[in-house]
A and B are shown apart, each in its own frame.
Chain A
């Protein structure tokens, strides 16, 4: 088993507030890893640290190592823009651009300098197929993305992300704003995507974690309390706190 991310003794701060406290976690390649835990325990911060989205906040600070294929991603030599090409992200709330469906998916290629019409068209089609959205939108590819339903918008956001061909896709509660049918579609999609991508997904939905992921990490108050195979964590957790959380006694 090969790990794509190695996180060692990670501490993060926003100004004076200490969010992540000594996180150690490995993310295996081409697998789905779930991050679970109560609200406000730093799951999203952890995710956003992996593609340096926290850099936008000026008071953000981190200590410890985050290695992507053995290289520290906060190394001054690494450009955050290049990193985000390799580590894509899907957000909690579907956030397509107020542009056409086509332009949403083509955006990544365009900003990376590829404006070749034929290549764009091929890529948009393959990405939409990859996100299981092509059949629903192929006849209205030039309409506004805002005309799609919430579930379709979220799959569009996934299509947009895979069009950039990242190695890792981070998903921050991608189904929390969606209805059960849309959620099922996204979960099916995650199963397909893991063949080509490594996925890290934050979720509040225990069933979702068991359905989609092979590995799980349980976060509590900025620390990883337990990590390992999803089946093991949900069937026989080692830590009392994990057991309490997954059986719904708090959180």
Chain B
């Protein structure tokens, strides 16, 4: 009897732990939505999302330039980081001698542990002047921000992709080699395709980090709330918009910053759904198995 009680209590404690994190998330989302809705009602949903002007002084709240900024920085960063990470993961998982792997892997993981303000500071002191000299303009730009973000998401995508590549059974590799395929053909045609679901997970996580990053982006992106004419012009991200103005926002301006948060949340959920759908679709079409 006593044992049954123990089981019962432990099960309930586990349930509580699982539920509490969900409740906390729901409470936060609820709060953000409640605080943000007045601003969306004030400007109108369409005007808020697609409005081109963000000017709190005149009560103009259009976040479209920031949506473009966030997506642009993220897309550019992924464009650099994904190929680099995947090739790096292939090298670590398949080519690197054990000793080299033992040094490289922790080094790359350390990159993930560096606080974002350090990246931002480095970007501000080194990268912004570099860009100014070599590409013109102020140096604060979408491109500069995406380069910093590339370095920041690289370890995430690389290490998770490497794990995915490493988890592919040795039998596939042996089967391919035994058919007279070269090592590279084996990586390209067998190991990598089988690891794609894991690689997509890695990209999703990298994407989440890229779109949510605030500090480093603020320090190098220039933060002008206007759609940039080129990748060399300054942009403002949704996250930056909140962080830059929260210190002095009151009234509807304060609500508009929470509304920006709603847009950011919506964007992340949208991207997650798309990425998961791609993953799901791949598995369904091939039927059974992994790929």
Mark A residues whose CB is within 8 Å of B: 51, 53, 56, 58, 81-82, 84-85, 88-89, 91, 93, 95-100, 107-108, 110-112, 143-147, 157, 160-161, 164
Q: Say whether, besides A91-B171, A98-B286, A99-B291, A111 and B177 are in contact (CB < 8 Å).
A: no
Q: Please indicate the chain A residues that have their CB under 8 angstroms from the CB of B175 in the complex.
A: 91, 95-97, 157, 160
C-alpha gap A119/B200 in the complex (Å) = 34
The 7 closest A-B pairs by CB, nearest first: A146-B289, A85-B180, A95-B171, A89-B178, A111-B181, A98-B291, A146-B288
Report chain A residues within 8 Å CB of B177.
Answer: 53, 56, 84
With an 8 A cutoff between CB atoms, is B189 at the interface? yes
The chain B residue with its CB closest to the CB of A163 is B179
Find B185's partner among A51, A111, A147, A164 (CB 8 Å cutoff): A111
Nearest CB of A to B247, in Å: 53
Q: Which residues of B contact A112 (CB under 8 A)?
A: 180
Q: What is the interface of chain B mostly: helix, strand, loop, or mixed?
A: helix
Bitwise, B276-291 to A at CB < 8 A (1) or not (0) is 0000000000111111
Instruction: Determine the chain A residues whose CB is within 8 A of the CB of B173 once the complex forms.
Output: 56
How near does chain A come to B103, taking the closest CB pair, in angstroms?
A: 17
Residues of chain A within 8 A of B182, CB atoms compared: 81, 111
B172 within 8 A of A: yes
| Inter-chain contact B179/A144, CB cutoff 8 Å | no
Q: Assess A111 versus B189: contact at CB under 8 Å? Given A89-B178, A95-B172, A164-B179.
A: yes
When distances are taken between beta carbons in the complex, the residues of chain A under 8 Å from B174 are: 53, 56, 89, 91, 95
Other-chain contact of A98, B178, B180, B181, B194 (Cβ < 8 Å): B194
CA of A82 to CA of B179, assembled, Å: 10
30 contacts between A and B (CB under 8 A): A53-B174, A53-B178, A58-B97, A81-B180, A82-B180, A85-B180, A89-B174, A91-B174, A93-B171, A95-B172, A98-B193, A98-B286, A99-B193, A99-B286, A99-B291, A100-B286, A107-B176, A107-B189, A108-B180, A108-B181, A111-B176, A111-B181, A112-B180, A143-B287, A143-B288, A144-B287, A146-B287, A146-B288, A146-B290, A147-B287
B231 at the interface (CB under 8 A from A): no
